[in-house]
Amino acid sequence: MKYIIIILEPWRILRRIRLFIENILSLFPLFSFFRKTRSDECPVTLTHWFNQKVLGYNKLAYWPMHPSSQVSYTQKILIGKNVNPGYQFGCFIHGVNGITIGDYTSIAPNVGIMSGNHDPLDLRIQVKANPIHIGSYCWIGMNSMILANVILGDFTIVAAGAVVTKSFEEGYCIIGGNPARIIKKLDPTLCNRYEMTVSHIGYYPVNKFDNFKQVIIKNISCAE
């Protein structure tokens, strides 16, 4: 036990140092997200900010991401409250044809969301597709993949390892398999549409996000 404590102690010290630096930076309005998102499900930490804005991992993403995840075409990706695709490790988010994700949707590690596709007769050509729309209160399970043109309604639970090739617009269901199919339907009257106080969407304060949101919506509509 003594040796375990000795091993863990440096990590505790580093965490205290990180929190101290975050508290100092939070005194400046530009870095208020450190303090204001601390109680969120996916808080912005100094580690996220440093990896993205200093080291350049996923630097164009306007939300915090794990450095092992990758995202492209962030200008065509719209996220809701408490949503941070790629916050967990190993995700790949490809937004060439547009992606929207509703409020309070959880995305597990190693998830792929692929809005693009190639022409099977000429792999150099990117096929045009409709944007991917993922509703609110969804849960995208580990190692699952959502492909182009898919629409998932609210309260769609995607089982681990599923490959979603078609839409489930009505939502309120658990889907799984390859290709994904409905495993169980959920009773909408039992599903909790909770609301939480959210100060930021990614790195943006909520009260400053609307103008940015309109730009993204325009980018997505141009992609259609």
CA distance 134 to 148: 12
Q: Select from 135, 131, 141, 128 the least CA-distant residue to 169.
A: 135
Three-state secondary structure call for residue 156: strand
What is the rounded (10 degree) CA torsion for 48, 53, 58, 60? 130
Tell me how far apart the terminal alpha carbons of the chain are, to the nearest angstrom.
Answer: 59
Structural domains present in the chain: 68-223 (2.160.10.10)
Could you tell me the mean pLDDT of each successive run of 10 residues in the chain, 224 residues long? Answer: 54 77 84 87 90 94 96 96 95 96 97 92 88 98 97 98 97 97 97 92 91 91 70
Q: What is the pTM of this model?
A: 0.89
DSSP H or E run through 210: helix 209-223
Q: Which residues are catalytic?
A: 118
DSSP letter at 190 equals: G
CB of 164 closer than 8 Å to CB of 147: yes
* SS (HEC) of 30-70: HHCHHHHCCCCCCCCCHHHHHHHHHCCCCCCCCCCCCCCCE
